[in-house]
Chains A and B, each alone.
Chain A
Amino acid sequence: MKEPRAEEGEPRAESREPRAASGVDMAIEVAGIRMQNPVLTASGTFGYAQEFEPHLDLNRLGGLVVKTITRLPRPGNPAPRITETPAGMLNAIGLQNVGIDVFIRDKLPYLRTLAPPLIVNVAGESVEDFRELTKRISDQEGVAGIELNVSCPNVACGLDFSTDPRLTYQVVKAAREATRLPLIPKLSPNVTDIRVIAKAAEEAGADGISLINTLVGMAIDVRTRRPKIANITGGLSGPAIRPVAVRMVWQVARAVKLPIIGMGGIFRGEDAAEFLIAGATAVAVGTANFVDPTNVLKVLSELEQYCLANGISDIRHLVGSLQLP
C-alpha cells in the first residue's frame, strides 16, 4: 500500500526522519498500520488535509484520518451549527460531505501524495451502506485503513449504531466481510458501559478502536430561551471531555485486546501522554486543529519532549503504563 505513494512523494523522503534529533523512538503500529509516530488527526476536524497544507508539514503526522464520507453527498445541518461552551464546543455539522464518488475523484488523489498512512472515515445509514462504502474504499489505492463512524450524534436518521452492541457487531461484521484493510470503529461515549460495545466490535473482527466520539450536549441562550445551535443538541468536544475520554480508554484497554486510538480534548503533549498511559497505542488531535492549525505538530513535539524529560526511549513503553497506588 505504501509503494505507490513512495514513488509519487520522492522529495518527502527526508521529512520522514523526524526522530533523529531527540533520539526517542516514536514509531508505533496500530491495527496493523505502521506509523512514524502516534499522533494522528481526528476525523471531522482536519477536512481532507489540504485545508491545512498552508499551515504545517503534513508529512510529519503519524497518520491522517479524514472527514466522514457517506454514500451520497450531504448538505449538512442548518445554522447555527456550533457554539462555544466552557473549555469546549458543541457542534452539529450534520456530516456535511461531498459523497464517496467526489471523494474518490477529487480528494483521494491529493491524499495519496502524502506520506502518512491514510485512514478514511465512512458513515452509513444502514449495515448495507457500511458494507458498500467499505468495499468501495478498499478498492482504492493508497488507503491504509478504514475508520467506521458508527457514532455520529448529529444526524436525524439515527446513525448512532454504537449505542447498541448488536448493531455495532452487525456493522463491523458487514464491513469485515467487505475488506481486508484494517477496520477501526469509532465508538460513542454516550453509553452505559463502553466495554460491552468494544467487545462487540472485537468479536465482529475489528482491528482497532477509536475512542471517543463527542458527548451529546445542549446549550441554551437564556436571553432568548432558544437552543444555541439549530439542531438543539450537538456533540461536545474539547478539553472539557478529556477526563471522560481518558477513563473510557482505560476501561476499554483492559476489556479488549485491540489497540486503541485515543482522542478527546488533546491540546498538549502531556494530554497525549495521558491517553497513552491509560492504554491507547496512538492518539488523535481534534478540536485543537480548529483553534490552531499547527496544534497537532505541537502535540507531537511536546510528546517527544515529555519522553525525553522522563527517560522514555521508546514511545511504546509509555502505552498502558498507568501506575496504580
Chain B
Amino acid sequence: MRAQIAFNRSVSAPYRHLGIAAPGFTESFGPGQFVMVRPPLVTDPLLPRAFSIYRISLDGGGAPVVEILYKILGKGTQCLSRMEPGREVEILGPLGNSFAVAPDLKTAVLAAGGIGVPPIAALARRLRNAECGMRNLEVFLGGKTVEDILCLADFEAVGAKIRITTEDGSVGTRGMITDLLGPFLDANGSQTIERFGIQGEPSRPVAQSPSRHSLTVFTCGPPGMLSAVARLAERRGVPCQASVEANMACGFGACMGCAIEARSNGPGPAYKLVCKDGPVFDSRELVWR
C-alpha cells in the first residue's frame, strides 16, 4: 500500500530509524515479521527491500506508523536514506512468520547483533508485556564495534540482563557473542539437559516434555553470528529459533528466490523459503555452515 515517510533519522553512523505512516496498516505483528519497502514507480533499484518490523506505533491521529531500523549497505538502502519525511513509499506486510514463545518458557535468551537487533527488541517487549511476565530475559548483544549495539534502551526498559561484546572492545567485553553465550548456556542450559538425560547427544531433538522450553535461545544477526549461536545451542541441546536473511524479490513466496538450505530427509538437497517458511526457523531445520 502507498504510505508516507513520517521520519527517517540517523541512529549511529550507518544505521537509521525509519517511520512509515501507513493508515490502514495493521497495528499488530509478530516479532520476526517483516515488510517489503520501496519507493514507488522506480525501476532502478528494481526490487523492494525486506526489513524486520521494530515497532508499530500510532501517530497523533491514531494511524499506524511502521518503524524499522536499517543499515546503509547498498543501492536500495542508500536510496531510502535520502528520502525525506513526506515522501511516499510502497509498503507490503506484515510478511512471514514470527518467533514462537511456549507458554511455560522460563528463560528467554536473546542473542542479536547489528541489524538483527530490532526484531529481537520487539520480541523482548512482547515477552515482558505478555500476561506471563515472570520470564527471565537474558540478552546478549554483539557487533564489530559500539555502533552495532542497537536498541539498548529497549532492553533496559524491559529489565533485561544485558551483556555486550564487541570485536574491537569499544564497548562491553572484547570478543564474540558466543564467548559469553557459551559459558552462560553451560551454566544454565545444562540443568535442563541433565534433567532429561540427553547431554552428550548433540543431534538428538530436545526431549518432548512440557518443561523442555524452560530455556530457549532467540537469535537474529549476521550469518556468521547466527551459525555460531545455532551450533552452540544445538551442541547443548537447547532449543534455538533463528531469524534469517536472504536476497528476496517478492517477499510472499512467488519468486522462490530466497531459498535456504534445509536439512534433508531424502538423498537430494532440500530448501525452505525464507519469506514464507521463515524468516524464523527452529535452528535444527536448517543447514548451518
Contacts and interface: CB of A to CB of B under 8 A. Distances in A.
Contacts of A51: 252-254
Given A79-B260, A293-B250, A91 B255 contact: yes
Interface stretch (A81-89, A178-186, A310-318): A81-89
B250 A290 contact: yes
A80 interface: yes
B269 A78 contact: yes
A82 B248 CA distance: 7
B254 A289 contact: yes
Given A87-B46, A238-B43, A290-B249, A46 B254 contact: yes
A45 interface: yes
A82 B252 contact: no
Nearest to B248: A82
A81 B257 contact: yes
A291 B256 contact: no
A110 interface: no
A93 B269 contact: no
A93 B256 contact: yes
B44 to A, nearest CB: 4
A287 interface: yes
Contact of B44 (A46, A79, A86, A290): A86
A287 B268 CA distance: 29
A75 interface: yes
Contact of B252 (A87, A96, A293): A293
A93 B254 CA distance: 11
B123 to A, nearest CB: 25
A287 B45 CA distance: 13
Contacts of A83: 247
Place the interface of chain A in its size category: 20 to 34
Contacts of A46: 254
Nearest to B90: A292
A76 B46 contact: no
Contacts of B257: 81-82, 91, 93, 290
Interface residues of B, number: 30
A186 B21 CA distance: 43
Contact of B271 (A52, A76, A82, A290): A76
The A interface is mostly helix, strand or loop, or mixed, namely: loop
A239 interface: yes
Given A45-B255, A51-B254, A290-B254, A89 B261 contact: no
A89 B46 contact: yes
A83 B258 CA distance: 10
B104 to A, nearest CB: 34
A165 interface: no
B228 interface: no
A239 B42 CA distance: 11
Interface in A21-53: 45-47, 51-52
Contacts of B258: 79, 81-82
B77 to A, nearest CB: 12
Contacts of A81: 247, 256-259
Given A46-B254, A79-B246, 16 more contacts: A76-B256, A78-B269, A81-B259, A82-B247, A82-B249, A82-B255, A82-B258, A83-B247, A84-B46, A87-B43, A89-B249, A91-B255, A93-B256, A93-B257, A290-B250, A290-B254
8 contacts: A77-B259, A79-B258, A79-B259, A80-B247, A81-B257, A89-B249, A239-B46, A267-B43
